[in-house]
Structure 1
């Protein structure tokens, strides 16, 4: 059932959708949307810990707005894209940055560094009627009560309708699928014992996870 985050068959994560985030990691700013997939075993919900993979000292937080698909489709037009949305959620695309750096150097996929178990902490589902303007929301992230990230979805390079259209030209979107829309600048490490918090300012949404 769409509306429950974690029920979809796939998670589509957009890369480098904020200029300053691309720049902080010395990555080129994309001229068109690109994405990778995370497995559904990535999901972890509030009250459950984020587990750092064995042999890894730290992982990086990337706070994002998640888009939950309510009505599936193929080759969806941008002007019709939001009618396929059931709602939204706050999400973190957790990343083993050292693994990602090695993968990029060798031209390898990001599956391990982005898709390990518990690499996608998510908050509660927000019905689209509660979100008047998803293109103008302030996302924030704190680690141990210290703010690390704060940015507006208005700064996305590719807005949500364009993302849905681009993705659906390649993958049929299905009810419950989740799209991660990219992260603003300020990403950084979390370690075992840290408390990770994120929120959406305008909606007074907050979610917290313990890192283990």
Structure 2
């Protein structure tokens, strides 16, 4: 086959480390489910019993790898943390049955859905999309992927975020309104899921602002804690 002739070198493939392996998990797309914990839906002023799941996206190169700082973004004075379980897919498709959805899962990680809350509030006010609030550069700090073969499929366990040693968010994965198989099945009716897709599975109550110099430690039982400093 002839060599592809790009007009400039393509960008590197974004990827996450895999715990216990030198191999990398290549990222295709990042989907995020909104208001998937009842207490968080309530704190954001919504009724968790009234709506089906909804999704927004971040960009694959929005990921911040472990060991790197989270740079405070421009154009905002109110940046919030949201600790989340991240689901890493090894296969996909469309119209995936709930009963087969977990077969698509390669593993899990701890992630942070960082949000320019002031810009999100302005977008909501005018009925506009959320990209400027959610999909900015380095808005998705994420830890290493743990394989499902190693840890199974976590359906309960503590999900917690501390800032400078103070607990800000403290919930349990069993509080998710839409469970992982349901999220995958529902999302596959809207998009063609593919290997390398990540799904950020929602956050518990307690979201709040970060400041430069803060140290965020994200914890989910059974997964490696991840630490990011706000730069």
Same fold (TM over 0.5): yes
* Aligned residue number for residue 142 of structure 1: 162
The secondary structure found in structure 1 opposite 2:194 is coil
| Alpha-carbon distance in structure 2 between the residues aligned to 1:179 and 1:207 | 18
C-alpha RMSD of the superposition: 1.7
| Alpha-carbon distance in structure 1 between the residues aligned to 2:182 and 2:143 | 24
**Structure 1 residues 167-176 or 24-33, which shifts more?**
24-33
Report the structure number with the largest CA radius of gyration.
2
- How do 1:120-131 residues align onto structure 2 when only pairs under 5 Å count? 120-131=140-151
| Alpha-carbon distance in structure 2 between the residues aligned to 1:3 and 1:168 | 25
Q: TM-score, length-normalised on structure 1?
A: 0.94
**Structure 1 residues 15-24 or 56-65, which shifts more?**
56-65
Match of 1:87 among 89, 92, 107: 107
The secondary structure found in structure 1 opposite 2:120 is helix
The secondary structure found in structure 1 opposite 2:174 is helix
| Alpha-carbon distance in structure 1 between the residues aligned to 2:160 and 2:59 | 25
Regions of 4+ moved over 3 Å: 1-6
Conserved? CA contact 1:61–1:187, under 8 Å: yes
| Deviation of 1:40 (Å) | 1.2
Bigger helix share = 1
* Aligned residue number for residue 3 of structure 2: none
Q: Deviations over 1:147-192 (max 9, x none)?
A: 1111111111111111000111111111111001100011111011
Q: Does 1:21 find its partner at 2:21? A: no
Q: Deviations over 1:109-164 (max 9, x none)?
A: 11010111111000011100232341112111011111111111111111111100
* Aligned residue number for residue 121 of structure 2: 101
Aligned length: 211
**Unaligned segments of structure 1, at least 5 residues:** none
